[in-house]
Structure 1
């Protein structure tokens, strides 16, 4: 059995964070996102993993290498042009061989029990098994309907009117629970045989509905646990918060210190600084006197937070400088940003790599 991670998306909804890196390598609590997926597969006995890549593929290959550093074997299959979800899997068929595949969309943070999903798939002699996540109904997602045995009977897409209503009123009253595609599949090699080559193919809109129309054994099983698509800045924040709150069963980078917060190696913290237990300090970061770090805040590697600065629910990537007395809340700062002294930002914001906020800037 092998794993496939679909990691070719450009991450346009996460710009500007994806201008300089592929979405699957965005740090989440000072750990590249894909490492969480690799760890999940390994935890459930999958030690051969294929990455389907496209956008900035060389960065993914460079980070993981042959996989030995992570205790797995890795291979990379690059798409010259985007092929869609099914097209990407088909493109990996030559290295996947004739084994059962565990497929993950590359932007899903989860702790689902993959072993139980695999066991369900095998018990049904399924061609494909989809994993389902329960969401409040109505939802903007496509809904999957199964019979009592778990066999898929319908793929039901929301109407355009429903999508519009949910987009304009996200707090619309819910009436129950729907089950949506969680982006985790168990696939037999014969399923890949049926995917056409040489063109983009959507697994959700084309492949699976065709399998259903042809009467092929497609099953689905719902699982409880943490699940989140990190495709937008707000969801990226939610992923950070979930890990720091220990709402998801994943390994946190670094160590829990005697002073009561997470930290990686070579951190320098002034004894007068106040750091909440839901804060994570990256390698080599420096925290000055009188600094206050609260909420779910992540300080990236090599960052410098100067005297009396206050940060709440902020995410800083590598090499960010925050000046004396600055006050930041809900801000995401990409690599190399410089926030000068006495700056105040209280509006949730995402600042591109290298952005400079001059002394005394106020964004409220």
Structure 2
């Protein structure tokens, strides 16, 4: 199997403050980082060598995988996504290789993308997904032979979309109109020479793929099965949605940590739960839930969270080592690690940065990080 290169260097600005102290691929997602879900998926699809290209806060990724023999983490100063391949070129000897974005949750059979690429004579094959509305993602049009005839990365207007559909339909060049780029690519090693010879090609979507099309390289598309789950976790809203989808078992085949105690309830090691869990709920390792507390539906308590008496938490994600004191109430919120919520405080539709002490009610508020500490113990 070829090597898998995972791009984990983005700033994750739309997820702020979650990414103030942590790179986006390490954001906790029901018991483990987004990045680990990607690696686990690739393992089940036969990949056994993983190169993680880190940049922003990359030392956290290095620390997290410091004991791993199969995950190689490189802290590199790349200018954009495609520039990563230039920098790592000397350690990529395989005839073809996979590139994956580091902020994806999916259960797609990526091995089929690899097989499709190997059996066809294309320099690159892009993993695609059919969606109802492709406008926020740009355009990818395929012909009946699954060759890409149009690729544009940026979000587009409805007018441009309809004109493009009409144009390519009239020319008889496209059979697929509602496809989006999923962030999985297979490349032949030849791409590295192309990047070296064309130093202005920095980003796959904005530069590399349009360049390949303009210069008559064969660029193919592989379409995920319709039943495959896929989510690009780029905003706090999609982060919460992906978490609830995991709890609802909508991402079949993807293993959430912990032991399934009853339908929709997963509990980690050494958890002490005296309160009520209303599924779906994930409770991490060493969590304490006191008498009278009601957790769920749709709640995640990451490792080391302590929940006091008569606390209510639903539709919310609580990161590691946070303390919610007696009678507090949390709804539709994300609370980062090492936060203290004082007794009786109500938090609704808010995001609380790491290290805050919350002593007044909050509604639709976003508190910045006050303590730059990772949720992971080894950091």
TM-score (norm: length of structure 2): 0.86
SS at match of 2:337: coil
When residues 229 and 222 of structure 1 are mapped into structure 2, their CA distance, relative to the original with a 3 A threshold, is same
- Contact 2:59–2:75 at 8 Å: present in 1 too? no
Is structure 2 residue 16 aligned with structure 1 residue 15? yes
d(CA) in 2 for partners of 1:161, 1:180? 15
d(CA) in 2 for partners of 1:59, 1:211? 35
Q: CA deviation at 1:289?
A: 0.5
d(CA) in 2 for partners of 1:277, 1:99? 47
Is structure 2 residue 102 aligned with structure 1 residue 113? no
d(CA) in 2 for partners of 1:103, 1:159? 22
d(CA) in 1 for partners of 2:79, 2:231? 24
- Contact 1:290–1:309 at 8 Å: present in 2 too? yes
Aligned residue among 136, 140, 143 for 2:139: 143
SS at match of 1:328: strand
Q: CA deviation at 1:19?
A: 1.2
Alignment of 1:91-130 (within 5 A): 91-130=87-126
Is structure 2 residue 84 aligned with structure 1 residue 88? yes
Q: What is the aligned partner in structure 2 of residue 244 from structure 1?
A: 247
Q: Deviations over 1:281-335 (max 9, x none)?
A: 1111100001001121001111111111111111000111111111110110011
When residues 146 and 259 of structure 1 are mapped into structure 2, their CA distance, relative to the original with a 3 A threshold, is closer
Name stretches of at least 5 consecutive residues in structure 2 with no aligned partner. 162-175, 365-379
Q: CA deviation at 1:180?
A: 1.2
Q: What is the aligned partner in structure 2 of residue 286 from structure 1?
A: 288
d(CA) in 2 for partners of 1:129, 1:164? 25
- Contact 1:84–1:200 at 8 Å: present in 2 too? no
Is structure 2 residue 319 aligned with structure 1 residue 317? yes
- Contact 2:153–2:205 at 8 Å: present in 1 too? no
Q: What is the aligned partner in structure 1 of residue 231 from structure 2?
A: 228
Q: What is the aligned partner in structure 2 of residue 63 from structure 1?
A: 64
Q: Deviations over 1:132-166 (max 9, x none)?
A: 1112235122111111010111124667655999x
Q: Deviations over 1:163-207 (max 9, x none)?
A: 999xxxxxxxxxx96111111011110012111377770111111
SS at match of 1:125: coil
d(CA) in 1 for partners of 2:99, 2:238? 22
When residues 131 and 138 of structure 1 are mapped into structure 2, their CA distance, relative to the original with a 3 A threshold, is closer
- Contact 1:87–1:199 at 8 Å: present in 2 too? no
Q: CA deviation at 1:60?
A: 0.8
Is structure 2 residue 265 aligned with structure 1 residue 264? no
Which is worse superposed, 188-197 or 25-34? 188-197
- Contact 2:248–2:264 at 8 Å: present in 1 too? no
d(CA) in 2 for partners of 1:251, 1:26? 17
Q: What is the aligned partner in structure 2 of residue 5 from structure 1?
A: 6
d(CA) in 2 for partners of 1:50, 1:334? 28
d(CA) in 1 for partners of 2:155, 2:314? 40
When residues 199 and 67 of structure 1 are mapped into structure 2, their CA distance, relative to the original with a 3 A threshold, is farther
Alignment: residue pair count: 345
- Contact 1:327–1:342 at 8 Å: present in 2 too? yes
Q: What is the aligned partner in structure 2 of residue 77 from structure 1?
A: 74
d(CA) in 2 for partners of 1:245, 1:260? 7
- Contact 2:94–2:189 at 8 Å: present in 1 too? yes
Q: CA deviation at 1:252?
A: 0.7
When residues 294 and 316 of structure 1 are mapped into structure 2, their CA distance, relative to the original with a 3 A threshold, is same
SS at match of 1:84: coil
When residues 213 and 66 of structure 1 are mapped into structure 2, their CA distance, relative to the original with a 3 A threshold, is farther
Q: CA deviation at 1:67?
A: 2.6
Q: What is the aligned partner in structure 2 of residue 207 from structure 1?
A: 208
Cα RMSD after superposing both structures: 2.2
Name stretches of at least 5 consecutive residues in structure 1 with no aligned partner. 166-175
Q: What is the aligned partner in structure 1 of residue 350 from structure 2?
A: 349
d(CA) in 1 for partners of 2:18, 2:280? 23
- Contact 2:327–2:343 at 8 Å: present in 1 too? yes
Q: CA deviation at 1:53?
A: 1.1
